């Protein structure tokens, strides 16, 4: 499991990535991909983007990461389950 100042992220079941945001009322967001390759690509992209955000305050990191999810990951086929 990867953790930083604003979230935790884990890769589970081959094609599922789960995000746990610190500043959220939701328990988790589960991203279910069609293929393990897409899930891996998503996970690695998220890790790389989180490294770029490391020097910013947690609330700014969260906001920028949400924008990243919306704008940069739309080409991947997945569904999101929110718990």
The per-residue pLDDT for range 33-65, each reduced to its tens digit, is 999 999 999 999 999 999 999 999 999 999 999
Residue 14 phi, psi (nearest 5): 80, -45
Residue 13 and residue 54 in contact, taking contact as beta carbons nearer than 8 Å:
no
Report pTM: 0.91
| pLDDT for residue 73 is more than 90 | no
- C-alpha span between 30 and 13 (Å, rounded): 11
* Domain boundaries, position 62: 2-82
Residue recorded with tokens 């935790």: 8
Residue 31 and residue 18 in contact, taking contact as beta carbons nearer than 8 Å:
yes
- The total number of structural domains in the chain stands at 1
Among the listed residues 45, 42, 44, 21, the one whose alpha carbon sits nearest the alpha carbon of residue 31: 42
């Amino acid at each position: 499991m990867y953790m930083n100042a604003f979230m935790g992220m884990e890769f589970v079941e081959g094609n599922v990535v789960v995000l746990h945001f610190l500043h959220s009322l939701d328990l988790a967001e589960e991203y279910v991909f069609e293929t393990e390759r897409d899930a891996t690509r998503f996970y690695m992209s998220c890790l790389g983007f989180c490294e770029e955000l490391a020097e910013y305050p947690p609330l700014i990191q969260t906001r920028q990461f949400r924008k990243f999810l919306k704008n940069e990951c739309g080409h991947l086929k997945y569904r999101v389950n929110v718990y």
